[in-house]
Amino acid sequence: MSSASGPFRLSDFDFELPPELIAQHPAAERSGSRLLDGTHTPPVDRIFRELPSLLRPGDLLVFNDTRVIKARLLGAKSTGGAVEALVERVLPNHEVLVHLRASKSPKAGAVVRFASGDGSSHFEAEMLGRGGPEDSLFHLRFPSEPFALIERHGHVPLPPYITHADDAEDERRYQTVFAAKPGAAAAPTAALHFDEGVLAALRERGVGSASVTLHVGAGTFQPVRTDNIAEHKMHSEWFEVPQATVDAIAATKAAGGRVVSVGTTTLRALESAALGGTLQAGSRDTDIFITPGFDFRVVDVLVTNFHLPKSTLLMLVSAFAGYEPVMALYRHAVAQRYRFFSYGDAMLLERTP
């Protein structure tokens, strides 16, 4: 194992996870999931609806208001070969960038037909070629407005470790209660635990709220393939930090309150917007890679789910709350049979000095 002062390797972020702890369905109630309170030593096992009592009047919760689209499309090439597409980004002029799975990738000019789940309707898309960062994605043109076509013909883009086909429960629960701006290919999962009761209790406690938008991409599940984590190239995601959120954060910090990030996607947006030294409003792409040693400028407290072994998100939370404390929390979570990943339980972390 690497020391805190030495370089970390991919193997440092591995841990044993019994497969049965990977949550396949959400908890019966959003706020009924468990919450591992890592702000105490030893940690405290709680229920998520207790979160308001753990925050202070004057704190500011920042949410990611992205909306998950039905980004998974199933279809076929004109030759009959099956095609599976995952929409990564919607562009102007009815164009999209997608991840594509096919026995043989269609070439520019080819037509791909995507069908609805019940087969009652379909649409045809034209292959324009490769696109995206380092031409890692495929560039398609849809015949009309992409969001409408995706909503009618697509499937909920459940993560690869969830083994059932998407259904009505997933349409409702793989989406936050405050989702507003469509564009995500994966949910900001820490926010899935919030319901109207928790939000009302937070307001009553005097905890403020603000929002950012980061359209979570499928690259969030991209594995790290090199043991030297410094060699890993992060995927790119679009984010926006409104001026109102910048102002709310400045007022919170001036009054001695804490900025509480709901999820790693919100944290990535805020810390990306502060890479110049101060938090700046605006929108752009980010490929920020947060590993131990990162200098956090904005976020003080983090609400997050449990992440995959060897993942960039496990590296992020280790950077935020300390490598040894985080790995100890993960060992506790496994021993206490917490539920892991997107539909799993959550934990509360404070930033280490």
Instruction: Please give the pLDDT value at position 96.
Output: 98
Between the CA of residue 262 and those of 100, 189, 272, 300, 341, what are the distances in Å? 31, 9, 15, 11, 15
Nearest to 60 by CA among 271, 203, 191, 214: 203
Between the CA of residue 62 and those of 25, 121, 327, what are the distances in Å? 26, 40, 25
Instruction: Please give the pLDDT value at position 133.
Output: 85
Distance CA 101, CA 141 (A): 17
Instruction: Please give the pLDDT value at position 6.
Output: 52
List of the chain residues with pLDDT < 50:
1-5
Instruction: Please give the pLDDT value at position 14.
Output: 97
With contact defined as beta carbons under 8 Å apart, do 222 and 249 qualify? no
Q: What is the pLDDT of residues 160-203, one digit of tens each?
A: 999 999 999 999 999 999 999 999 999 999 999 999 999 999 99
Q: What is the pLDDT of residues 298-347, one digit of tens each?
A: 999 999 999 999 999 999 999 999 999 999 999 999 999 999 999 999 99
Alpha-carbon 119 to chain mean position:
31
Distance CA 147, CA 155 (A): 13
Instruction: Please give the pLDDT value at position 4.
Output: 37
Nearest to 35 by CA among 48, 44, 22, 26: 48
With contact defined as beta carbons under 8 Å apart, do 238 and 183 qualify? yes
Phi, psi of 45 (to 5 degrees): -85, 120
Q: For the whole model, what pTM was predicted?
A: 0.95
Tell me the residue type at 73: L
| 152: CB partners within 8 A, 6+ apart | 116, 121
